[in-house]
Structures are given as C-alpha cells and as structure tokens.
C-alpha cells in the first residue's frame, strides 16, 4: 500500500511501517490545489495543515485512511470522507504540552512586553523606564475556556506561576471544578468577567464557531491578556479588533483567519496593528518533542489499520449505530459458509450495518456477529440455521443508546 505524507513531518517514526509493505512518499510541497492530482494510487494520506477537500477525497479512489498528524480536523472534509467510507483519525493530546508552553510564553511576554522591549534594544534604545511597569502574574486570575488536553496542561502551568485558576468547559460541573481545585464559571461571559488573563482551548466545530463572542470579549476587564492558540473560528476576531484599543487588551494569537496554506504565501492580519498584539505563525504544536509524539501516534494508527480490527482515534465513525439487533451465528470455519449466510440475509432484504468474525482455537469454528437495523424474520433465521455447517443462530435485541 502507498502512503503519502503531504506535509513536513518527522518521517523516522514511520520507517517501521515499511515491514508491513507500506511504501512511504513524502511531498511536503503539496497544497490544497495540488493534492487531488497526487492522490492517484494512494491508500493512506497523512497531513498536518494541508487542506483535504472533497475534490481531493473524490480523486483518491484507493484512499482508505486519512491521518491528521495533530488534533484539529477542520482542514479535512470529514463529511466527504465519511460518504466514501474513508477513516479519518487524529492524534489527540500529543501536542498538548507544546501548546500549553506557547500559551504561557504569550502570557509572560505580554505582561513584560518582551517583543517590544527587544525591538527597541535592537534599534539601539535602552528604554528601562518604559519597560519597568509590568503588572506581574502572581495572584492574578486566569480564565481557561475549555479544559481538554491543552486546557488542563495550561491549568498545571498556571498554578506553578501562582495564578488563580477559573474555568468554563462544556462538561465542567461545580463538583468537578472543586475536585480540580479551579473556580467554576457558569458561562463564558462569567469566565471572561473574572479573567485578568483569558485563554481559549476549545475545539472548532459548527457549535463553537464564534463562541467567544463580542459579549464574551466585552465582559473582559480592561487591560486583560487574551490568548488564542486554538482556532480563529472560535473567537469573534472582528469584535476583538475593535475592543483591543478600546479596552487596552493585550493579545497573543497563534491562529489567524488569514493563515496561508503553505508558509511561502504572503500573510496579513489587521489585528497585529491594533495595539499590544503578539503573534506566531500557528506554531503551537511545533516543538521537537510534540512532533515526535505526533509522528509516533501517526505510526501507531497506521499499524493498527494494517494489522488490527480496531482503529484508534477515528473521528468519523457513526456516533450511534443504526443497528438494533445482532444476529449471532456460530459456524464451521469453511469456505462459503459465511457467504451462504450473507446471501440469505440479502434475499430477506436485511442490511448489515456492522459485522465481526472471531475464529476459535484450532480454526475449526467461528462466531460471526452481524448487527442489523431491522429484525430478521423467523423464516430468515431458520434458513440460516438449516445450513449443515451452521452450528447455532441467535438474535439479540441491542439497547438503543441514541
């Protein structure tokens, strides 16, 4: 099988896959527009930020698996992949430490205005009085929006700096907050209102688009530090642009709405000219440690795809299966027995949603579980049971977990 890595990546971690017959091709120069033509004959695609459009997915006729070597899958048309039965998997948590470190770097740099001080020194200006007015972090309040993998790493580091942690997260309850020893905020507005430092670590989904809204940003105290190392879509950047000078916000951004596809393209953001705004070109995950961890996780996913039944970190499996019954058939491990069973199911109009087959020690007998949406008739089950090589047929009603 051919594997294409369409981004810059630590390839040494993928070397071990060659023993599985995988041929690795590295083409970091590919872009959203050139990727579709490069997918001919490719079975596995690995990407970081290169966009995988519906057009690319349609061109990848042999594509079985797309691995996002990172967390956010917003650059992949997951719906198009699902419609063609292509797995999409990611590497959650593997770069959390790196992003938390960048978040802390922004907070410290903004408090001390490190970038401006350095620029002045470089220009030959010793502005000691100007840069001797930092507020300091100890005892100040940090509001963490989203206590996922990165949010929790930020929490850990915030404590070490003596910051007072407050949080809002989708599944955070007052009880859980008490266990984590963080002050519970009922809403994002509530969190913003008590944040001297406000940092966002939410997934970008249709539900979280603009969730850090104008009213959330309006609720921030004047002079607050704001960090977004998550995704631009989660924050109302137009409102932020307006509020930076009005409220004297100090802002650190690793993510921009105008990010180019590849680093050679030009970049522009009005936000950077609005006041004390520091930026980095989406490098939150770019430490050697994080990239190594992500590459190892990518290799683990691909190995599992080639050798195991279960695939880790898949983001596009049907959350609630439409299957309502399982037909459990114990049968002899012989050619054609399963095919006969399937042909009976087909004749009775039964659509199989999921199927698994376990072979027992000695390879004499197997157990096949077919999960189906409609209940097969007694006649259908009797027909299956009538095959000489079928040992037993059962039907089990599945709990509706929807």
Ligand X SMILES: O=C(O)CC[C@@H](O)C(=O)O
Cα 207 to chain centroid, rounded: 15
- Closest to ligand NAD by CB, 201 or 247: 201
Of 43, 143, 146, 232, the residue at the interface with ligand NAD (CB under 6 A) is: 146
348 in active site: no
Which residue has the CB atom at the shortest distance from ligand NAD?
A: 148
In which element (H, E) is residue 369 found?
strand 365-372
**30 is written with which tokens?**
């590919």
270 in active site: no
Give CA–CA dist 332/371, Å, rounded.
20
Per-residue string for binding with ligand NAD, 309-348, x by CB under 6 A?
Answer: ----------------------------------------
Cβ atoms of residues 321 and 333 within 8 Å: no
Buried b (16+ CB within 10 A) or exposed e, 176-193: ebeebebbbbeebbbbbb
Does residue 36 belong to the site contacting ligand NAD (CB under 6 A)? no
Of 1-9, 143-151, 297-305, 387-395, which part binds ligand NAD (CB under 6 A)?
A: 143-151
Q: What are 371's strand-pairing partners?
A: 326, 354
Task: Count the Cβ atoms, other than its own, within 10 Å of residue 303.
Answer: 17
Does residue 68 belong to the site contacting ligand NAD (CB under 6 A)? no
49 binds, among ligand NAD, ligand X, none (CB under 5 to 8 A by kind): ligand X
In which element (H, E) is residue 106 found?
helix 96-112
- Closest to ligand X by CB, 67 or 384: 67
Which residue has the CB atom at the shortest distance from ligand X?
A: 70
Would you list the DSSP string of 41-89? Answer: T-SEEEESSS-B-HHHHHH-TT--EEEESSS--TTB-HHHHHHTT-EEE
Per-residue string for binding with ligand NAD, 278-307, x by CB under 6 A?
Answer: ----x-xx----------------------
Q: What are 372's strand-pairing partners?
A: 325, 352
Q: Give the pairing type, strands 2-5 and 197-200.
A: unpaired
43 binds, among ligand NAD, ligand X, none (CB under 5 to 8 A by kind): none
Does residue 188 belong to the site contacting ligand NAD (CB under 6 A)? no
Does residue 205 belong to the site contacting ligand NAD (CB under 6 A)? yes
Residues contributing to the site for ligand X (CB under 6 A): 48-49, 70-72, 95, 282, 285
Of 116-124, 165-173, 321-329, 386-394, which part binds ligand NAD (CB under 6 A)?
A: 165-173
- Smallest gap from Cβ 25 to ligand X, in A, equals 19
- Closest to ligand NAD by CB, 74 or 275: 74
Cα 214 to chain centroid, rounded: 26
Of 140, 141, 166, 201, the residue at the interface with ligand NAD (CB under 6 A) is: 201
In which element (H, E) is residue 302 found?
helix 288-307
Give CA–CA dist 123/312, Å, rounded.
52
Does residue 233 belong to the site contacting ligand NAD (CB under 6 A)? no
Q: Which of 68, 250, 282, 371 is catalytic?
A: 282
Which residue, among 161, 143, 140, 141, has the nearest Cα to 151 in the 3D structure? 143
Does residue 104 belong to the site contacting ligand NAD (CB under 6 A)? no
Of 69-77, 186-194, 299-307, 350-358, which part binds ligand NAD (CB under 6 A)?
A: 69-77
Coil, strand or helix at 222:
coil
- Using CB under 6 A as the criterion, which residues of the chain lie in contact with ligand NAD when the complex forms? 70-72, 92, 95-96, 99, 146-151, 169-171, 201-205, 207-208, 229-231, 254-255, 282, 284-285
Query: What are the residue numbers of the active site?
Result: 231, 259, 282
């Amino acid at each position: 099988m051919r594997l294409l890595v369409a981004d810059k990546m630590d390839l040494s971690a993928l070397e071990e896959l060659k023993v599985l017959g995988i041929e690795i091709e590295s083409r970091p120069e590919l872009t959203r527009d050139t990727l579709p033509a490069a997918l001919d004959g490719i079975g596995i695609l690995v990407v970081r930020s290169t966009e995988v459009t519906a057009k690319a997915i349609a061109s990848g006729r042999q594509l079985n698996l797309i691995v996002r070597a990172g967390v956010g899958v917003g650059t992949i048309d997951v719906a198009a992949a699902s419609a063609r039965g292509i797995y999409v998997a990611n590497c959650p948590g593997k770069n959390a430490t790196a992003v938390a470190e960048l978040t802390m770097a922004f907070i410290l740099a903004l408090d001390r205005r490190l970038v401006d001080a350095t620029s002045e020194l470089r220009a030959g200006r010793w502005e000691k009085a100007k840069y001797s007015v930092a507020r300091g972090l100890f005892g100040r309040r940090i509001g963490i929006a989203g206590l996922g993998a990165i949010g929790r790493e930020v929490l850990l580091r915030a404590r070490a700096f003596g910051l007072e942690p407050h949080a809002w997260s989708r599944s955070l309850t007052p009880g859980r907050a008490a266990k984590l020893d963080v002050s519970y905020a009922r809403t994002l507005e509530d969190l913003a209102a008590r944040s001297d430092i406000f940092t966002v670590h939410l997934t970008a989904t249709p539900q979280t688009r603009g969730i850090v809204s104008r009213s959330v940003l309006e609720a921030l105290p004047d002079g607050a530090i704001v960090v977004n190392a998550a995704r631009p879509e989660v924050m109302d950047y137009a409102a932020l642009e307006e509020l930076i000078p009005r409220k004297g916000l100090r802002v650190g951004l690793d993510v921009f709405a105008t990010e180019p596809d590849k680093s050679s393209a030009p970049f522009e953001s009005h936000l950077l000219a609005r006041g004390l705004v520091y930026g980095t070109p989406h490098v939150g995950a770019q430490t050697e440690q994080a990239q190594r961890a992500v590459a190892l996780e990518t290799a683990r996913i691909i190995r599992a795809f080639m050798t195991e039944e279960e695939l880790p970190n898949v983001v596009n499996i049907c959350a609630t299966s439409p299957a309502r019954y399982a037909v459990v058939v114990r049968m002899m491990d012989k050619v054609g027995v399963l095919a006969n069973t399937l042909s009976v199911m087909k004749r009775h109009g039964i659509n199989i949603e999921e199927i698994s087959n376990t072979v027992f020690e000695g390879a004499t007998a197997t157990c096949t579980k077919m999960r189906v949406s409609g209940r097969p008739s007694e006649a259908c089950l009797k027909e299956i049971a009538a095959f000489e090589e079928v040992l037993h047929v059962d039907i089990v009603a599945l709990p509706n977990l929807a």
